[in-house]
Amino acid sequence: MRTIIRNGTVLAWQGERHEVLKRGEVVFEGNEITFVGEAYEGAVDQVVDATGRLVIPGLINGHLHVTDTPFTKGNLEDTASSANTAQAQNFVPLYKISPEVWHAADGDAQLVAAECAFAELARTGSTTVVELGYDYEVGGDGYIVLTERVADVAGKMGLRCYSGPRYRTKHYGYDGDGSVFYRDYDGRGWLRFEDCVDFCERFNGRYDDRLRPMLAPGQVDTCDADILEATRLAADRTGLPIQIHAGQSPNEYQRVLSTQGKTTVEYLRDTGLLGSDFIIGHGQCMTADGDMNSMSADEVAALRDSETSICHLPWVKARRGGAINSIQKYQDLGIHQCIGTDTYPFDLFNDMRFGAVVCKIVEASAEAALSEDVFRMATVGGAEALNRPDLGRLAVGCKADIVTVRIDTPKASPVYDPFKFLILTASGEDVDRVIVDGRTIVDGGEVLTLDVPDAVRRLNEASERVWARLDL
């Protein structure tokens, strides 16, 4: 079937940047875009009227967690910090509460959490999501099964999803005296690595190739060098991308420095992880003082020349009292960047706005983190991080992942600059239609692929069950 989207303002990819077409048209056949321009003359089978809409590429949410976020939402913030490095940026509740919730949340609870999270992601315009799957700490031998089931939820709902079960050689926790402990898995981390590779080989290409796996070593401070080196070898053999949590906290940086005798960037470089297929999730605390200006020239060159991507997560950082330092600096240095939500809300518009505004504050410049550049992070930047030139763009040959955003409202009107509207005014609630792989999964702001009220009811029931098990 050949479908045309007409009468909208189209952000069309013109080779180097998104260009505004005031009365643009987008044509797709099956799951592929076949025309982007201002006057399509061919026959079509279906017309989508985009009057009063912006037509944009589907957003790429580069880092998130769907199975536990609904149960920790609102319980890790608004707590006091101290000078203790374990407590900096509210990491005491992170290290203390999160592991407890992971153990308390049964499989059914995590599945309905995933359903609601994916519904929110679809509703707010994220068409490709990177879900850093189920962790070993959560449930032992069943974690691979749950990862598959969660990914299946994304597939059935029509999203494009990258996922992989996390693995690590150590786990961590909170001792109660302001310190974080690290304990060996006694070889079980290697079993989980092997499980992950097996999962990736079996999982790849499901749901018409919308589901793809990735290698996910859990956290840089919990992974020994040999498992990171093995990860690189597996990625080179399979062609799969890698994402790791790194640059999250001062405690993490100091842990890597004390155990490896290297900075975080040096450790990632020397284990071979850096590369165009490698994503650093967070990437804010990559130096001793948290200031990117303190990064050595060699470290900057290692990130830039390897084409490693930094996935910024501005809102989770901001609500814990931190500031991204800084999107503009990474851009000026030529380091690849994308953006994600991490936890709640799963609305990438929220993180685009916070990323832009906080960067302007940090840089004391209204010209930092320009709207068009931040929008690029959420589209082409994410596509580059995943080595997917067929995503993040409205261009011939790209996947038909398309979002329409209402601009016919008092909130939006008048729209002088679509990029500034999208970053500084819009929210996910303004999304009207979402098309993934040529299939409409959101229409009129309503998710078509899930009974959302029923899922919300089941999630609230699950939350009561989970929190009744906790002793905090």
pLDDT tens sequence across 95-120: 667 777 777 788 899 899 999 999 99
Q: Which one, of 62, 401, 411, lies nearest residue 209 by Cα?
A: 401
Q: What is the pLDDT of residue 96?
A: 67
**CA 330 vs CA 45, 200, 238, 290, 324: distances in Å:** 45, 31, 29, 14, 11
pLDDT tens sequence across 75-91: 777 765 444 444 454 55
pLDDT tens sequence across 267-320: 999 999 999 999 999 998 899 888 888 999 999 999 999 999 999 999 988 887
Q: Which one, of 16, 61, 59, 20, lies nearest residue 37 by Cα?
A: 20
Contact 33, 27 (CB under 8 A): yes
Which residues are paired to 49 by β-bridges? 6
Angle at 327 between CA 321 and CA 333, to 5 degrees: 140
pLDDT tens sequence across 213-246: 999 998 999 999 999 999 999 999 999 999 999 9
Alpha helices in 219-369 (DSSP H): 225-238, 250-260, 264-270, 297-306, 314-318, 327-332, 348-363
Side chain identity at residue 233, one-letter code: L
DSSP state of 342: B
- Between residues 140 and 72, which one has the greater pLDDT? 72
**CA 291 vs CA 86, 295, 304: distances in Å:** 18, 8, 17
Q: What is the pLDDT of residue 424?
A: 97
pLDDT tens sequence across 305-362: 999 999 999 998 888 777 777 899 999 999 999 999 999 999 999 999 999 999 999 9
* Residue 175 reports pLDDT greater than 80: no
Q: What is the pLDDT of residue 157?
A: 97
3-state secondary structure of 103: helix
pLDDT tens sequence across 406-462: 999 999 999 999 999 999 999 999 999 999 999 999 999 999 999 999 999 999 999
* Residue 93 reports pLDDT greater than 70: no
pLDDT tens sequence across 8-35: 999 999 989 999 999 999 999 999 999 9
CB neighbourhood size of 179 (10 A): 15
Q: Which one, of 235, 175, 227, lies nearest residue 204 by Cα?
A: 235
DSSP secondary structure of 435-462: EETTEEEEETTEESSS-HHHHHHHHHHH
pLDDT tens sequence across 243-270: 999 998 888 899 999 999 999 999 999 9
Which phi and psi angles does 36 have, rounded to 5°? -140, 120
Domains of the chain: 2-57+392-447 (2.30.40.10), 59-385 (3.20.20.140)
pLDDT tens sequence across 29-58: 999 999 999 999 999 999 999 999 999 999
Q: Are strands 180-184 and 211-213 parallel, antiparallel or unpaired?
A: unpaired
DSSP secondary structure of 357-409: HHHHHHHT-TTSS-HHHHHHIIIIIHHHHTT-TTSS--STTSB--EEEEE--S
Contact 120, 347 (CB under 8 A): yes
Per cent of the chain over pLDDT 70 is: 93
For 228, residues 6+ apart whose C-beta sits below 8 A from its C-beta are 217, 268, 271, 272, 273
Chain CA centroid to CA 369, Å? 19
Q: Which one, of 436, 433, 434, 416, lies nearest residue 425 by Cα?
A: 416
Least confident of 50-54, 157-161, 198-202, 349-353: 198-202
Q: What is the pLDDT of residue 79?
A: 65
Q: What is the pTM of this model?
A: 0.95
User: Measured over all CA atoms, what is the biggest interatomic distance in the chain, rounded to whole angstroms?
Assistant: 71
DSSP state of 58: P
Angle, helices 452-468/91-104, rounded to nearest 10 degrees: 100
Side chain identity at residue 327, one-letter code: I
